[in-house]
């Protein structure tokens, strides 16, 4: 009996070995390398192996770091709330108001059309629209809504958040729509027969059953916004900062130990946020 168990255990580990090797080489090993380099020392011209906490001490003692993290968390929260509202609304419409499966698939594919181009192209496409002499300002002035162009439409925090919402809303739509499609419509009919209003059905049936999809979409959006740097750079015109851009600047200055320390703190922050979200729902049922 024991030999049979050992044989089955050995076969199981042998079957798992390819994915373990792949994850170990492409995920665990790079993370360990980043953590190791974060303790190294550096000068203006070079960096060298060492074991010290100077990079972390400077990181946590700097007021710039705290302001950048607060700005990044603000971007993340507003983007998450906006994408959740839009994503839930679109998914709800597709799942419960579109009866034909072919129409559902067609409308869903329509949502993916912007993703047929690169993120950068979709991002910079807002520049001629939001610019001082762009389409938005020209239309508002022609309608008499404003007398002079709005300066805050482009190269501002508003432009950054708008680009984030545009780029990442689909990551919220897909998991919520997938979860809603699994909801048994007989539950909704039973609630309606029991006298529940539309609002009560939404809050007591649909939203609770959609929590796994909401959490998966939230994880996608939070991680993407927290690690983004190119969107903040382009859409803010250099007037805003994020943690990702801070790391990018440190890499550009060849300050790899400092960039590694910032990356470790960012990773820990994102993992903490994800662990908090996972306490509200068990997404393993969805996966």
**pLDDT value, residue 154:** 86
Any domain includes 20: no
Confidence of residue 287 (pLDDT cuts 50, 70, 90): low
The pTM score is 0.88
Gap between the Cα atoms of 281 and 158, Å rounded: 32
CA dihedral over 213, 219, 225, 230, signed as positive or negative = negative
Any domain includes 36: no
The CB density around residue 155, as the number of other CB atoms within 10 Å, is 20
**pLDDT value, residue 265:** 93
* Number of folded domains that form the chain: 1
Confidence of residue 1 (pLDDT cuts 50, 70, 90): low
Domain coverage including residue 186: 62-285
Any domain includes 199: yes
Q: What is the CATH number of the domain that holds 255?
A: 1.10.3720.10
Any domain includes 73: yes
Any domain includes 31: no
**pLDDT value, residue 229:** 86
Mean pLDDT taken over the chain: 87
Instruction: Compute the average pLDDT of residues 114-127.
Output: 82
Query: What six digits make up the tokens of 62?
Result: 């700097």
Query: What six digits make up the tokens of 276?
Result: 């908090």
Q: What is the pLDDT of residues 158-172, one digit of tens each?
A: 999 999 999 999 999
CA distances for 284 relative to 57, 212, 230, 281, angstroms: 38, 8, 32, 9
Name the more confident of 73 and 4.
Answer: 73
pLDDT > 70 fraction of the chain, expressed in percent and rounded: 94
181 exposure class (CB count in 10 Å sphere: 0-12, 13-18, 19+): middle
**Range among 20-29, 115-124, 213-222 rated most confident:** 213-222
Query: What six digits make up the tokens of 9?
Result: 């255990």
- Per-residue pLDDT for 82 more than 70? yes
Of 142-146, 179-183, 261-265, the least confident? 142-146
Confidence of residue 7 (pLDDT cuts 50, 70, 90): low
**pLDDT value, residue 284:** 66
Gap between the Cα atoms of 44 and 254, Å rounded: 8
Instruction: Compute the average pLDDT of residues 159-187.
Output: 91
Any domain includes 197: yes
Q: What is the pLDDT of residues 39-59, one digit of tens each?
A: 998 877 777 888 888 889 988
Q: With beta carbons less than 8 A apart as the criterion, state whether 111 and 200 touch.
A: no
């Amino acid at each position: 009996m024991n030999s049979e168990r050992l044989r089955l255990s050995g076969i199981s580990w042998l079957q798992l070995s390819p994915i373990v090797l792949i994850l170990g080489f492409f995920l665990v090993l790079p993370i360990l390398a980043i953590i190791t380099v974060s303790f190294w020392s550096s000068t203006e011209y070079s960096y060298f192996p060492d074991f010290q906490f100077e990079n972390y001490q400077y990181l946590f003692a700097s007021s710039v770091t705290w302001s950048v993290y607060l700005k990044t968390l603000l971007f993340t929260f507003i983007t998450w709330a906006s994408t959740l509202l839009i994503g839930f609304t679109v998914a709800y419409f597709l799942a419960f108001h579109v009866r034909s499966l072919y129409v559902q698939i067609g409308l869903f594919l329509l949502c993916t059309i912007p993703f047929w181009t690169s993120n950068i192209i979709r991002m910079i496409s807002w520049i001629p629209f939001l610019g001082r002499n762009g389409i938005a300002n020209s239309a508002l002035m022609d309608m008499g809504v404003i007398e002079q162009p709005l300066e805050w439409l482009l190269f501002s925090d508003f432009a950054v958040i708008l680009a984030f919402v545009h780029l990442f809303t689909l990551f919220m739509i897909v998991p919520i729509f997938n979860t809603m499609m699994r909801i048994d419509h007989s539950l909704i009919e039973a609630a309606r027969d029991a006298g529940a209003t539309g609002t009560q059905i939404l809050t007591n049936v649909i939203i609770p059953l959609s929590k796994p999809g909401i959490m998966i979409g939230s994880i996608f959006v939070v991680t993407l916004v927290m690690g983004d740097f190119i969107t903040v750079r382009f859409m803010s015109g250099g007037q805003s900062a994020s943690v990702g851009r801070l790391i990018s600047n440190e890499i550009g200055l060849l300050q790899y130990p400092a960039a590694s320390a910032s990356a470790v703190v960012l990773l820990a922050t994102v993992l903490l946020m994800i662990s908090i979200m996972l306490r509200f729902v068990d997404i393993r049922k969805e996966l």
